[in-house]
Structure 1
């Protein structure tokens, strides 16, 4: 699992996370423009993390009200 660093600037549609499986790589695109203010330290770089509904990947301070 690859996640951005704290402080990274994201734009709408910019890939911010990737998950590698046995035969595929899935990337997630940012729905907002903003700055990464927190990265879940328990997930960054892990292989097969266990995630529940209360966990987060990253937290973003949005610089725009426009959602994609």
Structure 2
């Protein structure tokens, strides 16, 4: 069973976000990285780019497939995890820590994206 930290929010597209930080941190879930296999390349947005909740914000390439990463939040990209450029496998080894994807200055912090799941609801979705 995949690791699902209780303090995070999740989407049905297997993204997570941490709203307790400013800017908001986002990444892929443990379940997603398990399904994809070893990541070999991650194409992240650039700092200053606008991302929209529910739309593609990045691309993840594994030994199995190329998948779109759907942003769980809207706003301006404040930072990207530059370690992933040379070490995309960090998103496999530590998806909720060193493997985070990018940080967003959220424009919808007061009105969270409908459909965000807590850890329990996301765990049920994984089954």
Query: What TM bracket, shorter-length normalisation?
Result: 0.7 to 0.9
Q: Flag structure 2 segments of 5+ consecutive residues without an equivalent.
A: 1-41, 115-127
Q: Compute the TM-score of the two structures, normalised by the length of structure 2.
A: 0.46
How many residues get paired?
67
Write 1 or 2 for the structure with the bigger share of helix: 2
Q: Which has the higher contact order (CA 8 A, sep 6+)?
A: 1
Q: Flag structure 1 segments of 5+ consecutive residues without an equivalent.
A: none
Deviations 1:11-60 (A, max 9, x none): 1212112111234111111122100000011013x464234131211001
Instruction: Kindly report the root-mean-square deviation, in angstroms, between the aligned alpha carbons of the 2 structures.
Output: 1.8
Q: Compute the TM-score of the two structures, normalised by the length of structure 1.
A: 0.80
Rg: which structure is higher?
A: 2
